[in-house]
Amino acid sequence: MWGKLLGAMFGMALFKWPGLLLGLLIGHWFDRSLRSSFEDSGGFAALKKDNSEAQGVFMYSTFAVMGHLAKADGVVTSAHIDKATEFMQQLGLNSKQQQEAQRAFREGKAADFPLLAQLALLKQSYRWRPDLLQLFLEIQISIAYVDAHLSAVEERLLQQLADALSISASRLQYLLGRYQAEARFAKRPRQTAAKADTLQDAYQLLGVKPDCSESELKKAYKKQMAQHHPDKLMSQGLPAEMLELAKRKTQDIQAAYEMIKQNRS
């Protein structure tokens, strides 16, 4: 009921009577698809009871938008399913939480999934936490690149996500390049001497050019560590289930910095 009422008010305020009908449709979807999760425990019923509603919104949005992105080109491939499943396992979700995540993924695939309304809810929940909104976008970039290729449709959808979260187009392009470098760097062979292309990925991961000064390198390293540090993100409201993801990112940042320092010595 509340979804229909709020949706109608929102639609009426923006688009008068046509908006009223649109708002009712969005509100009906909210009531039908999200009622149990948001009323039970803040948007992700399988989360621990002491988690906030915002964390539930983050978790639900993560998997629902994953599903929406996976369907962007018309067909959800086995690679998309495998990536989402792998992500659930990496987060250490229990059986009940995985069921919630799978349900969110399926709902995100629906043609009538209210993407912008869900993103607006996410942004409202984390309006003072830009680092977490960026992390959310980085997760979606990973699902878009599951086949090592970004289609025009997927890129437009990622731009739509960035716009809705007030992340600039230039920042999105940086994150796209950074993700590719990070993915390649994570697969690097463990070796003493770094190859030129791996070293280039290390610089890109830190967001600096190879000819940067020592002070610029150190500043970039500290900035990346501060932005992705698990303790900081947890204090900002990152769900505990996402902690492992943050840890892996900081490990890659640390490894990239150490590789560059070793190469420069």
pLDDT tens-digit profile, the chain (265 residues): 434 333 444 444 444 444 444 444 444 444 444 444 444 434 455 443 444 677 788 889 999 999 999 999 888 888 899 988 888 887 777 888 888 899 999 999 999 999 999 999 999 988 888 888 998 999 999 889 888 788 999 999 999 999 999 999 999 999 998 888 877 777 766 554 557 778 888 888 888 888 999 999 999 889 888 887 777 777 766 666 677 777 888 888 888 888 888 888 7
Angstrom distance (rounded) from CA 221 to CA 50: 34
DSSP assigned state of 188? -
- Taking the C-alpha atoms of residue 176 and residue 145, their distance in angstroms, rounded to an integer, is 9
Q: Are 261 and 218 in contact (CB under 8 A)?
A: no
- What is the CATH code for 188-264? 1.10.287.110
Q: Where are the domains of the chain?
A: 1-41, 47-181, 188-264
CA 10 vs CA 26, 162, 165: distances in Å: 10, 22, 19
The pTM of the full predicted model, rounded to 2 decimals, is: 0.64
The residue with tokens 């948001």 is 38
